[in-house]
Amino acid sequence: MKVLIRGAGVAGLTLAHELATRGADVTVVEKRLEIAGNASWHAGGMLAPWCERESAEETVLTLGRDAADWWDAALPGHVARRGTLVLASARDAGELDRFGRRTSGFRQLDASQIAALEPALDGRFGRGLFFAEEAHLDPRKALLSLRDKLRGTGARVEFGRSSAPASQDIEVDCTGSGDRRPELRGVRGEMLILRTHEISLARPVRLLHPRISVYVVPRAENLFMVGATMIECDAEGPITARSTMELLGAAYALHPAFGEAELVETGVGVRPAFTDNLPRVERDGGNIRINGLYRHGFLLAPAMARRAADIILGNPGAKEFDLEAHC
């Protein structure tokens, strides 16, 4: 079967990989000239279904708990399974208690246990929550590696175009914010990338705050991704001064060494969401749409890819998938 996928973000590339491994003839087209710049490029890359349960439906945990295994199988060596550390300052201890009541899969840590996990944070926090089963990856390396792997298996991944060179049996719309249906809204996420040699972290750290909670995700070469805001807005312009100050302030609150860090990059991604903030695989006539991944792109894209591949390839029992309705 020949399948055309429109969009080379995380949804499109994970579906392409799923289909290619099942023997489909896959073409991915992307109107951008390169992968860089889409919402997936600016993602945190956290595979954290238990933490996300704090503000998401149980379905996100159910569908996301196998994401790390999918990514590990697709791209061996890309996934770091070191858990997630959740912290709060002493004055925001109530936020830590609230987070714990809304989640599961963690253990309570005291100051010495926090220091054992992250020596750089020794003496800075008295309590924390550790979600040992969670993982993370570098989304940019993952996207580039998926692209290269697909090309290596004979799939076509073409940039700077929106149409396929030949007829296809089915088309799948994975264009994200390019889908202008009124039932979709944009949720703007802003992020920073900092570089410092003064601190090292082994895993993502979430710092809770009553107004804006921030995560800091370590990457290679002494880089740290700091994100991310959730602003109900479709604008794709540069990051605002307010968000920059809030993200920098949170990083500094985690550790003062971030105050001397280099501000390497700022970024903005507009993530499409339905009213329930859950993704959907839907039929559109004879074709398929995957959209509404919201802030759960790398976490839920594998589950969406598996379901869409089942529908496309005629797996018995496969049907249109609305997470809220079918889980």
**Could you tell me if 316 and 266 lie in one domain?**
no
pLDDT one-digit tens code per residue, 107-146: 999 999 999 999 999 999 999 999 999 999 999 999 999 9
**Could you tell me if 92 and 162 lie in one domain?**
no
Q: Who wins on pLDDT, 129 or 212?
A: 129
Which range has the worst mean pLDDT, 34-38, 149-153, 251-255? 34-38
Side chain identity, residue 47: L
What's the CATH number where 162 sits? 3.50.50.60
Please state whether the peptide bond connecting residue 241 to the residue before it is cis, i.e. omega within 30 degrees of 0. Answer: no
**Could you tell me if 32 and 44 lie in one domain?**
yes
Output the pLDDT for position 317.
Answer: 55
**Could you tell me if 192 and 119 lie in one domain?**
yes
Residue 68 forms part of a structural domain: no
HSE (CB half, 13 Å, CA atoms) of 2?
A: 8
Taking 3-state DSSP, the helix, strand and coil percentages for the chain, each rounded to the nearest 5, stand at 35, 30, 40
**Rounded distance between C-alpha atoms, residue 132 and residue 241, angstroms:** 35
Domain final residue pick, 255, 273, 291 = 273
Domain final residue pick, 273, 298, 315 = 273
Orientation of helix 297-312 relative to helix 67-74, angle to 10°? 80
Residue 72 forms part of a structural domain: no
Closest CA to 3 of 167, 143, 207, 230: 167
Residue 56 forms part of a structural domain: no
For the chain, what is the domain count? Answer: 2
Residue 61 forms part of a structural domain: no
What's the CATH number where 243 sits? 3.30.9.10
**Could you tell me if 148 and 250 lie in one domain?**
no
Residue 64 forms part of a structural domain: no
**Could you tell me if 10 and 100 lie in one domain?**
no
Give the chain's mean pLDDT: 93
Q: Contact at 8 Å (CB) between 228 and 216? A: no
Residue 235's domain spans which residues? 84-132+185-273
**Could you tell me if 232 and 222 lie in one domain?**
yes
**Could you tell me if 309 and 265 lie in one domain?**
no
**Could you tell me if 14 and 126 lie in one domain?**
no
Output the pLDDT for position 316.
Answer: 52
**Could you tell me if 191 and 176 lie in one domain?**
no
Residue 66 forms part of a structural domain: no
**Could you tell me if 191 and 321 lie in one domain?**
no
Query: Which pLDDT band, with edges at 50, 70 and 90, does 228 fall under?
Result: confident
Cα torsion 275, 281, 282, 284: sign = positive
Residue 162 forms part of a structural domain: yes
Domain final residue pick, 273, 289, 318 = 273
**Could you tell me if 176 and 190 lie in one domain?**
no
Residue 255 forms part of a structural domain: yes
